[in-house]
Structures are given as structure tokens and as C-alpha cells.
Amino acid sequence: MAHIIIIGASTGGLPAAYEARELLSKEHQITVISNTPVFHFVPSNPWIAVGWRKRKETSFNLESYLSAKEITFSSAGVTEIRANNNQLLLGDGSTLDYDYLIVATGPKLAFDEIEGLGPEGFTHSICTIDHAEKTYTSWQEFMKSPGPIVVGAVQGASCYGPAYEYALILNYALRKAKIRDKVPMTFVTSEPYIGHLGLGGVGDSKGLLESEFRHNDIKWITNGKVQRVEDGKMIVEEVNEQAETIKTHELAFSFSMMLPAFKGVDCVAKMGEDVVNPRGFIKVDEFQRNPKYTNIYGVGVCIAIPPVGGSALAVGVPKTGYMIESMAKAAVSNIKAAIEGKAPSAKATWDAICLADMGNTGAAFVASPQIPPRNTAWMKKGKWVHYAKVGFEKYFIYKMKKGSAELAFEKHLLKFLGLAKTK
């Protein structure tokens, strides 16, 4: 009997757990460890931050659903990974031994790297549901006395889509309230151009998003290095291709949401340079295995991926939901092979599907694979994307409650799009 432990219970950890339960025989033990007893559907956070969703609509308690699939669950969290001993130290002081470990922790939010950034400073966040709810509280106050808005992502961020999404959701909310004319908006990003997305662009993402910003009177600063944030003011250095400062902007704001840089969580980051990169992200090979400890697998935002193309500032590569699920499927398939004494063979396709809401419309892209060069790359806009994201929210939450990594409907849709999770 093998004991497979998964650290993390979000868009990477849960699909990995369900995939393991489906692929492995019942004699093998599966344990999921999280630092929270509740699942939150993170892509809904921009809606929560404007009051379009409530916590109860996008969250559920994990234990009963995992238990129904004979998966052990703990919300104690992990404080130390003792890879030499195949052991974890949990937050409650207990230890667990594993045969195979899947790390799907997500990131540590590095607000502290910029003075005044984040919920404890002068900007808001939509990275967690707690942050999103706090943001909504401030948004309600802002609507009573509107003023300038600054939205974006700082240097070192690696998930730019939600920043664009939230900027355009705010734009729609302001127009609906008929106070858009009172609110100058500026988008600040470390990307070399609008629509780069950490991916070197997808299809005509540059043209589409620039057009959307122009149409909605949203100004932008690219190659923007946020130096510090003060109460109601953001200091941004605009740099050239050589990372030399060409202009310093002092942006006044009444409301701001800035995505932070990401780092590896503490229990992963302190595993050492043989295991993680300088930012604390776990190194993996083409089979999702750590090169030093081949019984440790990495899935999702916590893994190290080199940046795409050259940029003057740090621009991380996003790990989108579908891409993460493909990693999870590959990792579990290779664990099954290892248990059976076979060589690993499953590789994640790293194909990407992204749905970004813009209030009453939206933009969608498909990139296969996500990292260029690609076999397929397109980006389109339309009201159908808004409804598609609503549908996906309901579908994914249903799928995670049902305890299945992939339902028949999803398989047929992916086949229609010419996509697959593994190769």
C-alpha cells in the first residue's frame, strides 16, 4: 500500500486528489492537507470584490466531500517538508509519512516586497476571498465619494488576467452606476505591453485589450515598476528595455487594487536550492517530478517556470486553471506508473483556456500549449464569454463537490476544441 499526500486543496490539489482516487486502487491511502477547512473558487473573487457574489456561493467545507470519496483530510497545514525522511510536519505538531507527495500549495503573496502595498497597506487585493470581501467593503465606501482608480499588477506578479478583468469589471460597475465620468482610471503593469499576460501575448491580445482600454477611457503604464505606495498615492517608475528609468509617475488614487508578486510558500521555499528556485518555487521535470526527490511532484502556481521572452521587469508566467489540471492528471498518472514499477510517461500538455469577465461581456483565449511556440492561439471577445464564465464557475464547483476530476461533458468539449490534458 502506498500513501499519497497532496498539500493544497484548491484548483490543483482537489483535482489531483480525485484523479488519484479514480486511477489508484482502494488499497492506497490518499490524504489532502490544507491550511483551511474550506474550498474557495478563486476565479470568482473579482465578482465578490464588487458585491456580485457572496462567500457562500463560491465556497464549501471540504471534509464531507473528500470523506465521501475515501480521501483523508486535514486542515492543520504543513510547516515543514522533510524530504530526506519522506515525512511532513503539520501545523498541529503531528507528523505524517508519505510514499508520494504532490505539492499544490499555490503561492505566498509577497506584499511585503513593496512599501505600502496590500491589504495591510494602502492597496486592495482580490487574491483571496478574505481580501476580496475587504475590498468590497472599501468599494462600497468609494462609491459614495468617487475619485481616481489605479488597478494592475506589480513587478514579479505572474497572473495578470485577474487585474485586467477587475479593471474592466470596475469600469462596467461605474458606468452602470452612472458615475464613470467622475473616475479617472489608470492600469499599471510590469508587462512590456498591454495584453502580454506573462505569455508573450495570445493571438491578438495586445490589440484587443488596448482597444478595450481605449474604448473605456482607461489609461495605462507598461514597464511600470511600483516603488512604493503611500496613502492615496502610488510612485511608479516607467522603464525602457534596458530597465532604465525614463519617467517617474506619481499617481493619486481614491481606490486601488494591485496584484502582488508571488513566492513559494514557506514549507516549500525552505527546502533548499536543489529543490526550489530563488523565489521558492519547486523545480519539476517534464513528468512533474522534482529532479532531486523523484517521489515529490509539483502542480500549479507553486512550480518554477522560466519567464516567457525578454522583458525589462520581472514578469512571471501564469498557471491557468486548465493548465494546472493537466499537471495534476500527469502527476497522478506518473505516480500510478511508479507504484506499478513502470517508468513515467505522462506529460502535461500545458494547454490553456482562459475566460475573463468584463461585466456584461468578456474575453476568452485558447493557447495550445500555453508557452509559445503554439499549435493553436486565439483570443475573442463577446457577451458569450460572460455567460461562459458564469457557467464554468457553477460547473467547477459542482465537479469538486461531486468528486470527479473530469466529467463526460468536459471531455467532449475539450475534444471539440482539440485540447487534451496529457500527452
Residues involved in catalysis: 159, 354
The beta strand positions in 75-169, using DSSP E, are: 78-82, 87-90, 95-97, 100-103, 107-109, 149-153
DSSP string spanning 15-62? HHHHHHHHHS-TTSEEEEE-SSSEEE-GGGHHHHTTTSS-HHHHEEES
Buried b (16+ CB within 10 A) or exposed e, 159-182: bbbbbbbbbbbbbbbbeeeeebee
Q: Which residue, among 294, 288, 290, has the nearest Cα to 345 in the 3D structure?
A: 288
Q: How far apart are alpha carbons 110 and 120 in whole angstroms?
A: 12
- Phi, psi for residue 40 in degrees, rounded to 5: -125, 135
Task: Map residue 182 onto helix, strand or coil.
Answer: helix
Question: CA of 319: how far to CAs of 59, 141, 354, in Å?
Answer: 21, 33, 10
Q: How far apart are alpha carbons 198 and 307 in whole angstroms?
A: 7
- Phi, psi for residue 95 in degrees, rounded to 5: -125, 155
